[in-house]
Structure 1
């Protein structure tokens, strides 16, 4: 069986690093790990590189570097922004802030869109290949029953539209390419830390478990699934 050429974007994050370790454990995989910040603890059989959403040229170079080993079998975009020292999810309309909206859309929508721009053309043309970006159930318009979290919800909903639209264009030239969004559940990472107290213990996943679940979802995808969003348990998330 030929080696699989794998790319992980956001490899310094909790889920991103879990994906890198999971794919690197199989010697049949060629793994490229890209991140904005430098990764200090590196695996010997992984190609590491720099990619910054604020520098489009770095995204282009990363795509070209990955394709030197051949066309890509799988690209996973494992980045996202929910909060930081200056940003927290809004509870109501009075909390809306244009800067927070711009930052949320830049990381959650624009960044993955630019990755798609340069990495989707590098997918295999004549065999199965997958492009998957981490989305979120709260980005579902049909499943929104609680409200709040305006910027994050809107940026993930926009990402879902991007995924659907890209899947249509890619299908014109790459008949076996699959473009999807993945909802990892609530994972014990920096992104979820301020909100974990509200989560039942059996619904808070460690990064290895979530990555393994999502990998199983990826392996089970077929062409008819392209353009859709799937949760960690394999169930489709409504747009």
Structure 2
């Protein structure tokens, strides 16, 4: 037990929030196959298909827009150890009443509010409750899936107002979290990641113009993202990085 009464028996706990999605599930499976992580905690609204619990793998129900569920999940995570990796793999681009806007004439308050809640507020609330669990005396990484289209500097096509703006908001939240987190966790990093165009439900309606070699399987994206995390340096704190490790401008 540490001074705060929290168990540190499993020092290399990895947490994946949004583990039932395509990339989230692939991240959880990749981390499960890595012996460097003593425990894997998968969190999502639904149990990932085929997910089996054992001595290393645990699943708990959580909804990033339900703060009470985040509080409960964080308490359960604290019993497993101090997480060295926390990955937030949630996001929304389309759905009932939601579609990327081609023009400002399509802007809608309810749609914008929903996108900002899921893509920005939810990950921020996850950070609020899970970042305090990370160790103070060794490296850790908190990473959230963002998107290249959330880069203001890279925006040359316009459109997709709500998705672009909500991911840009996420990027700012990550940057701000990184500054505060570093004050108490000098070895801790907070970053945003662009996973590439991945063959999942999120991108399915928009894959028509994507070259086959540029459309990743979830496993390929997860492998690339974990490699990026492995290569991060202290100065990368608060950055936005593509799946190949290339920094993306804000």
Q: TM-score, normalised by structure 2?
A: 0.93
- Following TM superposition, by how much is the alpha carbon of 1:26 offset from its aligned partner in structure 2, in angstroms? 2.4
Distance (whole Å) between structure 2 residues aligned to residue 4 and residue 33 of structure 1? 14
- Does 2:154 match 1:143? yes
CA RMSD across the alignment: 1.1
* Residue aligned with 2:207, SS: helix
Paired residues, number: 238
Cross-structure match for 2:140:
129
Please give the per-residue CA displacement for 1:139-197, whole angstroms capped at 9, x wherever unaligned: 00000000000000000000000000000000110000000000000000000000001
Cross-structure match for 2:17:
9
Distance (whole Å) between structure 1 residues aligned to residue 52 and residue 108 of structure 2? 40
Cross-structure match for 2:67:
56
Cross-structure match for 1:19:
27
Question: Would the aligned equivalents of 2:228 and 2:245 in 1 still touch at CA under 8 Å?
Answer: yes
Q: TM-score, normalised by structure 1?
A: 0.97
The gaps in structure 2 that reach 5 residues or longer are: 1-9
Distance (whole Å) between structure 2 residues aligned to residue 231 and residue 193 of structure 1? 20
Matching residue within 172, 179, 182 for 1:161: 172
Distance (whole Å) between structure 2 residues aligned to residue 42 and residue 216 of structure 1? 23
Cross-structure match for 2:52:
43
Matching residue within 106, 126, 130 for 1:115: 126
- Following TM superposition, by how much is the alpha carbon of 1:25 offset from its aligned partner in structure 2, in angstroms? 1.2
Deviates more, 1:111-120 or 1:50-59: 50-59
Moved runs in structure 1, 4+ residues, more than 4 A? none
Please give the per-residue CA displacement for 1:11-46, whole angstroms capped at 9, x wherever unaligned: 000000001110111244210000012334222331
Cross-structure match for 1:106:
117
Distance (whole Å) between structure 1 residues aligned to residue 121 and residue 48 of structure 2? 23
Distance (whole Å) between structure 2 residues aligned to residue 71 and residue 91 of structure 1? 44
